[in-house]
Amino acid sequence: MSLSDKAKLQFMKDLGFPALASLQKAMRGKRAPRKANPDFGPPLKCTARLKEIMTRHYYLARFAPGAKPVAWVTSGAPVELLRALDFYTIYPENHGALCGAQKMGPELCQVAEDEGYSADLCSYARVDLGHMLSGKTPAGKLPKPDLLFCSNNICQTVAYWYKVMAHRLGVPLVMFDTPFNYTEISQDDIDYMVGQVKDMIPVLEKAAGKAFDMERFIQVAELSRAASELWGQCLETMKARPAPMTIFDAFVHLAPVVSLRGLPVAREYYEILLAELLDRARSGIGAITNEKKRLMWDNIAIWYKVRDFSELFASRGMNFVAATYTNAWAETIQHLDMSQPLESLAKTYSLVILNNNLEHRLNLMAKMVSEYAVDGLVVHSARSCKPYSLGQYDLKRLLSERLGIPAVVIEADITDYRYFSEEQALTRLEAFFEALEAA
Amino acid sequence: MSYYAGIDVGSLSSDAVIVDAAGGIKGWAVTETGAHSTNAASAALDKALERAGLRPDQVAYTVATGYGRAAVPQAGKKVTEITCHALGAYTLFPEVGTVVDIGGQDSKVIRLGENGKVVDFVMNDKCAAGTGRFLEVMAAKLGVTLDDLGRLSLGAEGEVAISSVCTVFAESEVVSLVAKNQPIPQIIKGLHRAVVNRVAAMTGTTGVREQVIMSGGVAKNAGVVKLMAERLGVEISVPDEPQIVGALGAALLAAREDAV
């Protein structure tokens, strides 16, 4: 790490970005405001702050190399280990969602496919490979990593995707292997995971150029826990009728807990978001103006359709008040216990929804249906995400049978809209609306 | 006396049904959709009116359904084919528990509750296998008409297995089977089996409750209906005009809509 690079990053952080942000704000002020859609309540005030945080994160990333060690990390990896060593982290999945929302998925996927990667691979992986091969990104420029860090608690694809990147970029890969939880987690599983953490620390230290400090780690883990708990409380405000935000909002406000958790900014952000949501709930301000039915979403967002879907559902008086996806970053945080830092870290990260059995998922969904007073279930069968999409038809059938709620499956993809058929999806959704309205 | 129209604009055919206030069918028509769905909807409606001996201004309300439902200017309301097929089938067969509809470009299984309400439904995914289009493509390749497929397959001695589930690859598979002098009726039976397996798999997620009704253009193919009944292990009833079930449901909804 060089002193001049460190000074440059600090300068951009303190002066460069704030100047840029105020310039952008001034430019925005000149544009005519978008016409308000009467189906929606007043927009969340926090959104401006969220945009600033995420823009700043991606903007400063380009000044990180040389000033800080840089790591590319999977969404479910125990990033607290890296934060304790002051890594600047980039989340290819978050970047993939960004590319998806900007409708760049097919273009970047095609780059990866032209290089020989299968079109059946996860589109986050293809977008990431496509970005690596072409340099194309809506985020300006992503810094080259010094280290890759992945955990297979979300899928096995990441293990191979990150191996390909490690090979092509010539940087070390650290993988955290989490045994799948078939019934319950055993002490052997925990010992195995703790052993891995102990083994990886020297590798992380080498890439970071500094020593791992347990006290610093515990501070970071506390910050992480605070952000996740606050995020969970934000989601819980949606139990209110009308719900103060929609899951489509939550898909966006999820970004800090995914990619900035363990940093003070994530905790601070969720403090202000929670305060705003509680205030809205108390004042009866709904995300949509006419909340007739309350829905639950399963699986990752369809990033290029978030806006269209949010308008479609709002126009029918339907609000998504819960999702297994957004819940995933709050679901297991209660396991984190600083009296047993590494053991509890292993538990927190290995018991996430995608590394847990279907019975668990069924019970979780049933619980959410009752706690959030859900009237219907929309299941996104995502072509990219095999672990998330496996078992969905059974889950849907069992939930319909047990709870008597209508459910619909729509087939799509998270970013690659070549796998989305608008007319077919809309017909399914319309039929679902008709069934809900008749119920 | 007021009359009500239902128009079902599908990918291959556009169908119209006229009912009176009591729900009795006064006229119906099945026409080809072609390239212009608005024209097709009008043509189907005109033909159904003509058969009913009615003028357009005697229709009090119209409901449109099917993939082309957005392009029906006459319609006061657009309703999906799921709701329309369920209501049409329930009206024709009050005991119906499951509707298996195989249309031109999509196939669907609808499970109904006691009172004709939709309990669950599944539609085919982004693939033409298991639809009328699959059989249409194959009939053309074999040089037989769509109407002959059923009769020919029922007379088949044996069956040739079709391994490809993709319409495009199954087409080349058929070409190679013909080149190997496999008897046409046996190939057709194999093709029917492929469609039936594909659609029957969808009943796995909805479950099957008797009575089972088949609708859509493919229900006119006795060979497919027979194989489907064997595959599901149930008896299958087919309406006299299986292609107008959706339009009938739409017409009945139009009558209800007007009553409101």
B81 contacts A434? CB cut-off 8 A: no
In chain A, how many domains are there? 1
Asked, for residue A418, whether it belongs to a domain, the answer is yes
- Residue A128 makes CB contacts below 8 A (sequence gap 6+) with A92, A95, A96, A161, A165
Asked, for residue A385, whether it belongs to a domain, the answer is yes
pLDDT in tens, chain B (260 residues): 799 999 999 888 999 999 999 999 999 999 988 888 788 899 999 999 999 999 999 999 999 999 889 889 989 999 999 999 999 999 999 999 999 999 888 899 999 988 888 999 998 877 777 888 899 999 999 999 999 999 999 999 999 988 877 778 888 899 999 999 999 999 999 999 999 998 998 898 888 999 999 999 999 999 999 999 999 999 999 999 999 999 999 999 999 987 76
Query: Residue B11: its pLDDT value, please?
Result: 83
Asked, for residue A421, whether it belongs to a domain, the answer is yes
Chain B residue closest in CA terms to A398 = B205
Chain A residue closest in CA terms to B124 = A424
Q: How confident is the model at residue A29 (pLDDT cuts 50, 70, 90)?
A: low
Q: Is the pLDDT of residue A439 over 80?
A: no
The three-state secondary structure class of B125 is coil
CA distance A98 to A251: 11
Q: What angle do CA A412, B102, A392 make, to 5 degrees?
A: 35
pLDDT digits (tens, 9 = 90+) for A371-402: 999 999 999 999 999 999 999 999 998 998 89
Q: Where are the strands (E) in A160-244, listed by range?
A: 173-176
Q: Which of residues 177-206 of B touch A (CB under 8 A)?
A: 205
Q: How far is B83 from chain A (nearest CA, A)?
A: 7
The three-state secondary structure class of A135 is coil
Q: How far is B106 from chain A (nearest CA, A)?
A: 9
Residue B83, chain A, CB below 8 Å: the answer is yes
Residue B33, chain A, CB below 8 Å: the answer is no
Query: Residue A30: its pLDDT value, please?
Result: 64
* Overall average pLDDT of the A127-145 stretch: 94
Q: How far is B117 from chain A (nearest CA, A)?
A: 8
Query: Residue A62: its pLDDT value, please?
Result: 93
B121 contact residues in A (CB cutoff 8 A) = 431
B67 contacts A423? CB cut-off 8 A: yes
Q: How confident is the model at residue A247 (pLDDT cuts 50, 70, 90)?
A: very high
Query: Residue B260: its pLDDT value, please?
Result: 65
B205 contacts A397? CB cut-off 8 A: yes
Asked, for residue A96, whether it belongs to a domain, the answer is yes
CA distance A220 to A218: 5
A411 contact residues in B (CB cutoff 8 A) = 125-126
Q: Name which of A428, A429, A433 to mutate to probe chain B: the one with the most chain B Cβ atoms within 10 A of its Cβ.
A: A428
Cβ atoms within 10 Å, residue A53: 18
- Residues B2, B25: contact at Cβ < 8 Å? no
Query: Residue B129: its pLDDT value, please?
Result: 78
Query: Quick one: tokens of A287?
Result: 């995300």
pLDDT digits (tens, 9 = 90+) for A255-276: 999 999 999 999 999 999 999 9
Q: Which domain holds residue A369?
A: 3-28+40-438
B83 contacts A427? CB cut-off 8 A: no
pLDDT digits (tens, 9 = 90+) for B59-84: 999 999 998 898 899 899 999 999 99
Asked, for residue A211, whether it belongs to a domain, the answer is yes
Residue A51 amino acid letter? K
Residue A65 amino acid letter? P
Query: Quick one: tokens of B9?
Result: 């604009």
B80 contacts A431? CB cut-off 8 A: yes
Asked, for residue A113, whether it belongs to a domain, the answer is yes
pLDDT mean across residues, chain A: 94
List the one residue out of A301, A389, A384 whose CA is nearest residue A118: A384
Query: Quick one: tokens of A388?
Result: 């998330």
Asked, for residue A34, whether it belongs to a domain, the answer is no
Of the candidate ranges A4-18, A218-232, A329-343, B79-93, the one whose mean pLDDT is the lowest: A4-18
Asked, for residue A33, whether it belongs to a domain, the answer is no
β-sheet bridge partners, residue A119: none
Query: Residue A32: its pLDDT value, please?
Result: 63
- Residue A306 makes CB contacts below 8 A (sequence gap 6+) with A101, A248, A251, A252
Domains of chain B, earliest start first: 1-93+244-260 (3.30.420.40), 95-238 (3.30.420.40)
Query: Residue B225: its pLDDT value, please?
Result: 97
B126 contacts A424? CB cut-off 8 A: yes
CA distance A107 to A99: 10
Q: Which pairing describes strands A407-412 and A376-382: parallel, antiparallel, or unpaired?
A: parallel
Query: Residue A97: its pLDDT value, please?
Result: 96
**Chain A: which residues have CB within 8 Å of chain B?**
393, 396-397, 400, 407, 409, 411, 419, 421, 423-424, 427-428, 430-431, 434-435, 438
Query: Residue A31: its pLDDT value, please?
Result: 63
Buried b (16+ CB within 10 A) or exposed e, A33-46: eeeeeebbbeebeb
* Overall average pLDDT of the A290-305 stretch: 97
A407 contact residues in B (CB cutoff 8 A) = 120
Q: How many CB pairs under 8 A join A and B?
A: 44
